[in-house]
Structure 1
Amino acid sequence: MSLLHPYYIIALIYMLFFSIQEVFVKKVDKKWFWILGVYLVIIAGLRDSVGPDYGSYKGIYIYSDTKEYGSIILKALHIKSSEEVEIEWLYALINKILLNVFNAPFYVVTLVIAIFAIFFKIEYTDDNTFYPFTYTLFMFIPNFFIGESGQIRQNLGTFVIYFAIRYIKERNLWKYLFWVFIATGIHNVCYIFLPMYWLVKLRLNKFLMLGLIIGAIFASPFEIYKVFGSFLNNIASDSILVEGFNGYVDESVQRLNGGFGVPEAIMAILTFFLFTFDKPMEEKYPYYEYHKVFAVFGICMYFIFRNNPIFSSRLAGAFIGFSYIIIPNAMYVVSQNTKRLIYGFIIFLVIFNFILFSSFKNITAGKFTIDQYKNYLLP
C-alpha cells in the first residue's frame, strides 16, 4: 500500500470539514468551494509529469501544432478537408494557439484545461446538490486522479456537458445545443448526451426502471453494442491514450466472464438509492426526475458495455459520474437519523476508495505518491 502525497490529503481534510458543516450545521458559503477549486487547479494543473496519460497528452500538444487552422475550423463545421485532424477541433485549437502563438510549455496546457474543468465542475455541482463538498469528497477518489490528473480531455468535455444540463432544466434547446457543440469539440464522447434533452422527459416508475436494468444485465454477455460498429469506436477510443488509460487498471479487478467487482458493487449501491428514496426524492428534490433518467441510462449502459473496459468506463462512466449525485442528495429528503446513516455510509465509501486506490498500482503508475508527485509551483 502506497501513501498519497500530502497535497491530496489536505484536500480530503478540507472537504471533510466543510462536508460536516453543510450536512449537519448549515449551508456553506460558495466562496469556500471556490477556494477548494483554486487549490485543485494548482495540484492538477501544475503537476509535473504526474498521471499515466501525461506523456500521451504531451504528444497531442506537439501534434496539434502540425495542423492548419483552416483544417481545424473545417472539422468544427464537420466539413472534410485535405488534412486529417485526428483529435477534436476545440482541443486541437486550444493546443495550437498555446504552442503556436504563445510558445507555452506543456504545463500551461494542463493548467488551462484544469481551470476550465474545475470552473464547470463547481458550477454544475452547485446547480445540482445542496451538499457540494460532500459530493466532491465522495467523488474525489478515483475521479480526480483519472479526470483532472489523467484523461483531461474527456474530463473537461464531460464537465462542460454536465454544466449544460442547466439548459435542459430551463428547456432552452439552443443554449444546450451550443454547449453540446463546445463539449464535443473537446471530446466526442459528449455526443451521447445530445438525446438527453428529450429523454429526460421520460417518466420512469420503479417497475420500468427495474425492467430496463434487468434487461441490460441479461443483454450484457451478448455484446449487442457491436451492431453499432465503428460509430462507438470513434466516440470512445483514443489509441494514443490506451497505454496511459491502462495504467489506471488493475487486471485483478476487471470483471470479465460474469465476475463481480467494485464497479458492480457501485452499480448495486446506486440502484439501491434509486429504488429506496425514489418517492421522497420526487416529492422534495428539484429535477430529481431528470437525475433519475441519467442514472438509469448510466446503469444500463454500464452492463451493456460491461465486456469492453473502454466503453464501460468512457461511455457509461460519463453518465454514471453525474448520476452519483443522487446518493448525497438523498440526505436532503430523509429524517435526521437516516441522514446520519447515509452520511456514515458515504464516509465509509470514501475511506474504502482511499484504501483501494492506494493498494493497487494506480497510485504509483500515476506518480501520485508522497515520493513521486512533483509540482511546478508547490514545493
Structure 2
Amino acid sequence: MSLLHPYYIIAMIYMLIFSVQEIFGNKVDKKWFWFLGVYLIIIAGLRDSVGPDYGSYKGIYIYSDTKEYWSIFLKALHIEGSENVDIEWLYALINKIMLNVFNAPFYMLTLVIAIFAIFFKIKYTEDNTFYPFTFTLFMFIPNFFIGESGQIRQNLGTFIIYFAIRYIKERKLWHYLFFVFIASGIHNVCYIFLPMYWVARIPLNKTMMLVSIIVSIFLSPFEVYKVFGNFLSNIASDSMLVEGFNGYVDETAQRLNGGFGIPEALMAILTFFLFAFDTPMKEKYPYYEYHRNYAVIGICFYFIFRNNPVFSSRLAGAFIGFSFVLIPNAMYVVSANKKRLIYSFIIALTIFNFVVFSSFRNIIAGRFTIDLYKNHILP
C-alpha cells in the first residue's frame, strides 16, 4: 500500500470538515467551495509529470502545433481538408494557441485545462446538490486522479456537458446544442450526450428501470456493441492514450469473464439508491427525474460494454458521473436517522476507495504518491 501525497490528503480533510458542517450544521458559504476549487486547480493544473497520461498529452501538445489553423477550422465543420487533424478541433486549437502564440510550457496548458474543468465542475455541483463538499469528497477518489489529473480531455468535455444540464432544465435547446458542440470539440465522446435533452423527460417507473437493467446484464456477455463497428471505437478509444489509460486499470480475467468486482458493487449500490429513494426523491428533489434517467442509462451502458474496459469506463463512465449525485442527494429527502446512516455509508465508501486506490498500481503509475508527486510551484 502506498500513501497519497499530503496535498491530496489536505484536500480530503478540508472537504470532510465542511462536509460535516453542511450535513449537520448550517449552510456553508459558497466561497469556501471556490477556495477548494482554486486549490485543486493548483495541484492538478501545475503537476509536474504526474498522471499516467501526462506523456501522451505532452505529445499531443507538440503535435497540435504542426497543424494549420485552417485545417483545425475545417475539422470543426467536419470537413476533410488536405491536412488530417487526428484530435478534436477545439482541443487542438487550444494547444496550438498556447504553444504557437504564447510559447507556453506544457504545464501552462494543463493549468488552463484544469481551470476550465474545475470551473464547470463547481458550477455543476452547485446547481445539482445541496451538499457540494460531500459530493466532491465522495467522488474525489478515483475521479480526480482519472479526470483532472489524468484523462483531461474527456474530463473537461464531460463537465462542460454536465454544466449544460441547466439548459435542459430551462428547455433552451440551442444553448444545450451549443455546449454539446463545444464539448465534442474537446472530446468526441460528448456526442453521446446529444439525445439527453429529450431523454431527460422520458417517464420511467421502477418496472421499466428494473427491466432495462436486467436486459443489459443479460446482454453483457454477448458484446452486442460490436454491431456498431468502428463507430464506438472512434468515440471512446484513443490509441495515443491507451497506454496511459491502462495505468488506471486493474482488471482481472476473472472479472471480465463474469466475475464480481468493485465496479459491479458500485453499480449495485447505485441501483439500490435508485429504487429505495425513487418516490421521495420525485416528491422533494427538483429535477431528480433527469438524473435518474441518466443513471439508468449509465448502469445499462456499463453492463452492455462490460467486456471492454475502455468502453465500460469512457462511455458508461461519462453517464455514471451524472448518476452518483443521487447518493448524497438522498439525504435531502429522508429522516434525520436515515440521513446519518446514509452519510456514514458515504464516508465509509470514501475510506474504502482511499484504501483500494492506494493498494493498486494506479497510485504509483500515476506518480500520486508522497515520494513521486511533483508540482511546479508547490514545494
Query: Same fold by TM-score, threshold 0.5 exceeded?
Result: yes
Shorter chain as denominator, the TM-score bin is: over 0.9
Change (3 A) 1:207 1:150: same
Q: How does 1:91-240 map to 2 (within 5 A)?
A: 91-240=91-240
- Distance, in Å, in 1 between the alignment partners of 2:146 and 2:297 is 22
- Distance, in Å, in 2 between the alignment partners of 1:39 and 1:253 is 39
Letter of the structure 1 residue corresponding to residue 49 of structure 2: S
Identity across aligned pairs (percent)?
Answer: 82
Q: How does 1:45-56 map to 2 (within 5 A)?
A: 45-56=45-56
Letter of the structure 2 residue corresponding to residue 257 of structure 1: N
Q: How does 1:1-379 map to 2 (within 5 A)?
A: 1-252=1-252, 255-379=255-379
- Distance, in Å, in 2 between the alignment partners of 1:176 and 1:253 is 40
Given that 1:253 and 1:262 are in contact with CA atoms closer than 8 Å, whether structure 2 keeps it comes out as no
Given that 1:50 and 1:373 are in contact with CA atoms closer than 8 Å, whether structure 2 keeps it comes out as yes
- What's the CA shift string for 1:140-172, capped at 9, x where partnerless? 000000000000000000100000011000000
Letter of the structure 2 residue corresponding to residue 340 of structure 1: R
- What's the CA shift string for 1:72-121, capped at 9, x where partnerless? 00110111111110000000000000000000000001000000000000
How far off is 1:254 after superposition?
7.0
- Distance, in Å, in 1 between the alignment partners of 2:115 and 2:76 is 23
**Residue 256 of structure 2: SS of its match in structure 1?**
coil
**Residue 240 of structure 2: SS of its match in structure 1?**
helix
Letter of the structure 2 residue corresponding to residue 46 of structure 1: L
How far off is 1:252 after superposition?
3.6
- Distance, in Å, in 1 between the alignment partners of 2:152 and 2:256 is 27
- Distance, in Å, in 1 between the alignment partners of 2:26 and 2:222 is 49
**Residue 58 of structure 1: SS of its match in structure 2?**
helix
Given that 1:16 and 1:137 are in contact with CA atoms closer than 8 Å, whether structure 2 keeps it comes out as yes
Given that 1:51 and 1:366 are in contact with CA atoms closer than 8 Å, whether structure 2 keeps it comes out as yes
Given that 1:75 and 1:85 are in contact with CA atoms closer than 8 Å, whether structure 2 keeps it comes out as yes
How far off is 1:322 after superposition?
1.1
How far off is 1:249 after superposition?
1.1
Long gaps (5+) in structure 2: none
- Distance, in Å, in 2 between the alignment partners of 1:203 and 1:358 is 41
Identify which range, 250-259 or 233-242, moves more after superposition: 250-259
- Distance, in Å, in 2 between the alignment partners of 1:201 and 1:252 is 38
How far off is 1:251 after superposition?
3.4
**Residue 348 of structure 2: SS of its match in structure 1?**
helix
- Distance, in Å, in 1 between the alignment partners of 2:156 and 2:255 is 28
Long gaps (5+) in structure 1: none
- Distance, in Å, in 2 between the alignment partners of 1:299 and 1:164 is 21
- Distance, in Å, in 2 between the alignment partners of 1:174 and 1:158 is 18
- Distance, in Å, in 1 between the alignment partners of 2:196 and 2:146 is 25
How far off is 1:209 after superposition?
0.3
- Distance, in Å, in 1 between the alignment partners of 2:128 and 2:148 is 20
- TM-score, normalised to structure 2, is 0.99
Given that 1:254 and 1:261 are in contact with CA atoms closer than 8 Å, whether structure 2 keeps it comes out as no
Letter of the structure 2 residue corresponding to residue 54 of structure 1: Y
